[in-house]
């Protein structure tokens, strides 16, 4: 064959080697299992949608990044998130669904962003939403952070905080002090406190024409800190006579109480009055989640309560609450910092090696017996030297090797080698599965994420 | 909000309702677990690739169907199969991979075909391949059909046959009778025997200028039938003095022997000399798989041995063997024929229902306790009437419901209802998990596919 094409992928796309992919898939599986344990059903909407559908809401920066094209007469886009397809799905199938409708979707979305570290043009998100018809109990607002807690804990992350706030509380507060029109801008400025310092925040707020007294009030509100009980008590003590504020406060109280009922420890959640999550979509409880030791990662899981999921497609009011894990980005950050417990290049626990052609048939039999015993088993072909076979086993990183030679075949035994320990033993063929299981039990499965 | 956009998807795309999605995902999971039990590692290549890469080989019909577009200066395509991305991946990462390299990929591909029943523009394929460097033992040719057998059996399909042939055998035979140049065309005609009848096949072959004697020879070769041993013995008895033929015959012998070693019963495989699988890619063993009762489905899993996976991207010779399940199409056929064991609209086994606001907190606690015991549990909010809650439980199809009322709360009990049997019992809260497990054990999990 003549001219070769250099094999490569598009820039800004993530592709993993087998040992990385196995860790990524373990993460994905843990997240999916946790979501399902709460009764969420997986959806799998098409990657391509009609542009008319997908762009009903989008605009600005996002719209420019979308992969949009026509084929025949059809104007279509690759999805840029999982929320718009969810809206379309729920509106389209509303008569077939049972509400509250709990769905999760762990899928890829596409945005042609300028490639940079940690930003990908094809990226997994792991979304959950609970969507009600006409109304949805506030208790679901507590379920979401309890799921965040379970997911991150199962992944192995220990030191993290889910930061919660309530948009009604903020709205009521700003109405009360007469700054509701400027609240969006004020909140954006306050959000930068950690970056630019309090003095600069005061300057910026003053530039908006807010007087010094109000600035102090706004800042001291945003800085209310302490245990959940302390913050709730301070918020109550402010004695703000505004119905929206009081509703937000009572929601926050119910949500944090329910989190206690569900066994989420206060070492992993707190009320943070600076959390706002954008300004036009969420209407009640909002969440962000930060690793205590790595604030630079930004929020790992974010979400909140919204009043109406699918207003572009239906008149039926569909309030909901949900959250999303930016899985590709999270994985990339963990990988870059060396925080993943990497394993072998194979899902197999065992590699069966026939010394020569003669033992091939037995090797295939043994492979099938081990598999039927629930042990993932790879059987090697017999067409290379023994030395090469062991090189392969090492490169693969497979935990255990079963070697079948002439004398073993005569005695109906095999050599079982523990590759990590470098120890080997001769085992009767019918005792092979229990012997492997015994070795496996000596090696507890490490969590995906290293201690942090 | 004003004008609504009618929620809908692109034509030719499959989207499932929750109860269907759960069955589809169970199929996908069984396939993935089986592939992994043989040591295959999952890959997840990008959906988008450079056109230069993806179209290095494509052409004709396929190329017209591809979703191709430019963004910025980049000419890109959505993948149309999983084989070309595999070639690119292996060529690109050849120095990091251990050979033989076993990978599976269960992912969507895209072809803008004319929509018709059973053809989808977005479709899942479930591919496995074993790729060697420079050479690959013939034993791997036996592993592939043994995996087909395990997968279909685990899905619940019973009456099917994996039909095998060997391209070297065919090539040698046609060389021997002096028709090797016309063999492609002859095989295509013979393949139509079931449709057009033997007389018409004879006519077509005669139109190619083949004499009656040779036609008889060709047809009687294609029609060799019987048990594997019988066919092998007839093929040997033909005494064809051609090295390629003899190599093909010995490969077929080794593969069928190895299938016996791996416990694949002869009720599920046979040698069929009419199977050819296209004419330029495969070079040795080829497979197709048909359901005995539904020949009209066509082949469910097909594949074979090829000499060189990635000739467009690398000089390194990469022989391999693999197969693919057209999952979306297979699911659609099973669904259309009512052959799927459908279940509830939720993965949850249990729905916890608090009678009123007062029991909400306990309901959340119970939910978490059941989950920690490995029972998937959905907890219902308390903001509707009890009757509506039971309507919801019925619509969801959840197998068990746990009801918490005032008296239950006082006595630390709950009402556990078996929805299918309509039976209920009062259970102490700390005995709830074992009681549910007991009920679950009464209901054996049905296979995905109904008896066929």
Query: pLDDT tens across A262-284, in order?
Result: 999 999 999 999 998 876 789 99
Confidence bin at B279 (pLDDT 50/70/90): low
* Residue in B14, B41, B120 to test binding to A, most A beta-carbons within 10 Å: B41
The answer to whether the predicted template modeling score (pTM) of the entire model surpasses 0.90 is: yes
Give the nearest partner residue to A137 out of B261, B351, B383, using CB atoms.
B383
What integer is the mean pLDDT of B315-319? 96
CB of A143 within 8 A of CB of B371? no
Residues A314 and A369 in one domain: no
| CA gap B37, A372 in Å, rounded | 9
In a domain, A1, yes or no: no
> What pLDDT is stored for residue A278 in this prediction?
72
| Mean pLDDT (chain A, rounded) | 94
Q: Chain A contacts of B253, Cβ < 8 Å?
A: none
* DSSP secondary structure of B4-48: PPPP---TT-----HHHHHHHHHHHHHHHHHHHHTTPEE----SE
Q: Do B368 and A263 touch (CB under 8 A)?
A: yes
Q: Do A39 and B139 touch (CB under 8 A)?
A: no
Tokens of B63: 């190329």
What are the E-state strand segments in B118-224? Answer: 122-131, 160-166
In a domain, A276, yes or no: no
Residues A119 and A29 in one domain: yes
* Residue in A27, A41, A85, A93 to test binding to B, most B beta-carbons within 10 Å: A41
What integer is the mean pLDDT of B312-335? 96
Q: What ranges in A337-398 are assigned the alpha helix state H?
A: 360-372, 386-396
Q: Which residues are CB-contacts of B316 (< 8 A; sequence separation ≥ 6)? A: B91, B94, B133, B134, B310
Question: How many domains would you assign to chain A?
Answer: 3
Give the nearest partner residue to B376 out of A6, A37, A312, using CB atoms.
A37
Give per-residue pLDDT as tens, A288-334: 999 999 999 999 999 999 999 999 999 999 999 999 999 999 999 99
Residues A302 and A412 in one domain: no
Residues B323 and B382 in one domain: no
What integer is the mean pLDDT of A78-92? 97
B282-291 and A101-110 as β-strands: parallel, antiparallel, unpaired? unpaired
Tokens of B407: 């008296």
In a domain, B5, yes or no: no
ipTM value: 0.96
| CA gap B104, A31 in Å, rounded | 21
Residues B366 and B270 in one domain: no
Q: Do A36 and B76 touch (CB under 8 A)?
A: no
Residues A357 and A332 in one domain: no
CB of A390 within 8 A of CB of A419? no
Q: Do B108 and A21 touch (CB under 8 A)?
A: no
In a domain, B223, yes or no: yes
* Residue in B3, B5, B313 to test binding to A, most A beta-carbons within 10 Å: B5
Q: Chain A contacts of B362, Cβ < 8 Å?
A: 261
Give per-residue pLDDT as tens, B420-433: 999 999 999 999 99
Q: Chain A contacts of B136, Cβ < 8 Å?
A: 381, 383
Q: Which of these three, A343, A375, A410, is where a domain ends?
A: A343
The CATH number of residue B438's host domain is: 3.40.50.800
Domain membership of residue B390 as a residue range:
350-442
Residues A298 and A419 in one domain: no
Confidence bin at A59 (pLDDT 50/70/90): low
What integer is the mean pLDDT of B323-350? 97
Q: Give the C-alpha distances (Å, rounded to integers) separating B227 from A351, A426, B273, B276, B277.
A: 33, 39, 13, 19, 22
> What pLDDT is stored for residue B192 in this prediction?
84
Q: Do B376 and A45 touch (CB under 8 A)?
A: no
Q: Do B108 and A47 touch (CB under 8 A)?
A: yes
A411-427: buried (b, 16+ CB within 10 Å) or exposed (e) per residue?
eebbbbbbbeeeeeeeb
Residues A301 and A155 in one domain: yes
* Residue in A25, A44, A398 to test binding to B, most B beta-carbons within 10 Å: A44
Q: Chain A contacts of B347, Cβ < 8 Å?
A: 36, 39-42
Confidence bin at B277 (pLDDT 50/70/90): confident
In a domain, A309, yes or no: yes
In a domain, B13, yes or no: no
Residue B2 in this model has a pLDDT that exceeds 70? no
Q: Smallest CA–CA separation between A79 and chain B, in Å?
A: 12
Find, in chain B, the residue whose alpha carbon is nearest to that of A140: B381
Residues A152 and A298 in one domain: yes
The verdict on whether omega for the bond into residue A400 sits within 30 degrees of 0, i.e. cis, is: no
Residue B1 in this model has a pLDDT that exceeds 60? no
In a domain, A51, yes or no: yes
In a domain, A17, yes or no: yes
- Helices then strands (H, E): number in chain A? 16, 16
CA dihedral (B384, B387, B393, B399) in degrees, to 10, reads: 140
Q: Chain B contacts of A257, Cβ < 8 Å?
A: 361
Find, in chain A, the residue whose alpha carbon is nearest to that of B345: A41
Q: Chain B contacts of A74, Cβ < 8 Å?
A: 10
Confidence bin at B384 (pLDDT 50/70/90): confident
Residues A402 and A299 in one domain: no
CB of A301 within 8 A of CB of A106? no
Q: Do B7 and A91 touch (CB under 8 A)?
A: yes
Q: Do A5 and B367 touch (CB under 8 A)?
A: no
Q: Chain B contacts of A8, Cβ < 8 Å?
A: 50, 53, 88, 92
Q: How many CB pairs under 8 A join A and B?
A: 289
What integer is the mean pLDDT of A222-241? 96
| CA gap A148, A154 in Å, rounded | 10
| Mean pLDDT (chain B, rounded) | 94
Q: Do A102 and B21 touch (CB under 8 A)?
A: no
Q: Smallest CA–CA separation between A389 and chain B, in Å?
A: 10
The CATH number of residue B30's host domain is: 3.30.930.10
Residues B173 and B132 in one domain: yes
Sheet holding A41-42, edge to edge: A41-42, A101-110, A122-131, A320-325, A301-306, A282-291, A160-166, A269-271
CB of B106 within 8 A of CB of B126? yes
Residues B419 and B308 in one domain: no
Q: Do A39 and B378 touch (CB under 8 A)?
A: yes
Residue A58 in this model has a pLDDT that exceeds 70? no
Q: Work out the percent of chain B whose per-residue pLDDT is above 90.
A: 87
> What pLDDT is stored for residue A88 in this prediction?
97
Confidence bin at B139 (pLDDT 50/70/90): very high
Q: Which of B123, B141, B178, B409 is nearest to A47 (CA)?
A: B123
């Amino acid at each position: 064959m003549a001219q070769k094409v250099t094999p490569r992928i598009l820039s800004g796309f993530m592709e993993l080697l087998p040992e990385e992919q196995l860790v990524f898939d373990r993460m994905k599986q843990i997240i999916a299992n946790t979501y399902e344990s709460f009764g969420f059903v997986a959806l799998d909407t098409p990657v391509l949608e009609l542009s008319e559908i997908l762009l009903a809401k989008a605009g600005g920066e996002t719209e420019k990044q979308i992969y949009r094209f026509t084929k025949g007469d059809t104007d279509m886009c690759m999805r840029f998130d999982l929320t718009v397809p969810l809206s379309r799905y729920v509106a389209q199938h509303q008569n077939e669904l049972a509400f509250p409708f709990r769905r999760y979707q762990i899928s890829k979305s596409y945005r042609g962003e300028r490639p940079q570290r940690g930003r990908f043009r094809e990226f997994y998100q792991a979304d959950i939403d609970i969507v009600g018809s006409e109304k949805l109990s506030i208790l679901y607002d507590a379920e979401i952070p309890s799921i965040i807690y379970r997911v991150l804990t199962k992944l192995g992350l220990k030191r993290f905080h889910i930061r919660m706030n309530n948009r009604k509380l903020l709205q009521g507060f700003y109405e009360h002090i007469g700054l509701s029109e400027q609240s969006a801008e004020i909140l954006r400025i306050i959000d930068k406190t950690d970056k630019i310092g309090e003095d600069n925040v005061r300057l910026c707020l003053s530039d908006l024409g807010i007087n010094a007294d109000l600035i102090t009030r706004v800042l001291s509100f945003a800085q209310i800190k302490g245990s959940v009980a302390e913050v709730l008590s301070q918020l109550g003590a402010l004695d703000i006579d505004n119905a929206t504020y009081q509703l937000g406060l009572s929601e926050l109280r119910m949500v944090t109480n329910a989190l206690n009922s569900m066994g989420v420890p206060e070492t992993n959640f707190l009320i943070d009055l600076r959390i706002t999550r954008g300004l036009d979509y969420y209407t009640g409880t909002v969440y962000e989640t930060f690793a205590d030791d790595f604030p630079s990662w930004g929020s790992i899981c974010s979400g909140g309560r919204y009043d109406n999921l699918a207003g572009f497609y239906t008149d039926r009011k569909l309030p909901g609450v949900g959250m999303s894990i930016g899985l590709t980005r999270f994985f990339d950050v963990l990988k870059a910092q060396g925080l993943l417990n990497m394993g072998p290049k194979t899902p197999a626990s065992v590699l069966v090696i026939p010394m020569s052609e003669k033992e091939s048939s037995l090797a295939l039999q043994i492979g099938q017996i081990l598999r039927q015993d629930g042990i993932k088993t790879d059987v090697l072909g017999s067409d290379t030297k023994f030395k090469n076979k062991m090189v392969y086993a090492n490169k693969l990183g497979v935990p255990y090797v079963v070697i079948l030679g002439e004398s073993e075949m005569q005695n109906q035994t095999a050599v079982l080698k523990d590759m990590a320990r470098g120890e080997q033993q001769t085992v009767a063929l019918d005792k092979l599965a229990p012997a492997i299981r015994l070795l496996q039990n000596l090696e507890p499965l490490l969590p995906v994420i290293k201690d942090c």
